[in-house]
Amino acid sequence: MVSKSRALNALQHQSHLTEIYEFENERMDTLVDLALSCESAAYRWRDYEVLKKFVCRFVGKEATQPELRTSAHYEVVIAFIDWLLPESEASC
């Protein structure tokens, strides 16, 4: 399982995640907290879908900040969600 400090550290090492955090630090903190609160791999897909809907509010084509309306920002935050969530039972 990923720790909060490791997750926040990861934000500093990927340029698109860094940009997202600069514009939407509170939402990214919330995203990390929500993802890390998902402890069961049994609900991974459901949690992934919920978090994906959450980030669509501030990253991707619907983003309020024009700088975050790129597919690159969307794709990197989706990959970040995948990394944060517990591994699926099939991969254990």
Domain that holds residue 19: 4-91
Reading the chain (92 residues) residue by residue, the pLDDT tens digits are: 789 999 999 999 999 999 999 999 999 999 999 999 998 899 999 999 999 999 999 999 999 999 999 999 999 999 999 999 998 765 44
Residue 39: Cβ-neighbour burial (10 angstroms; 0-12, 13-18, 19+): exposed
DSSP state of 88: P
* CA 82 vs CA 57, 64, 65: distances in Å: 18, 23, 23
For residue 84, the SS3 value is: helix
What span, in angstroms and rounded, lies between the C-alpha atoms of 80 and 84? 6
| Tokens 């490791």 sit on residue | 6
The total domain count for the chain is 1
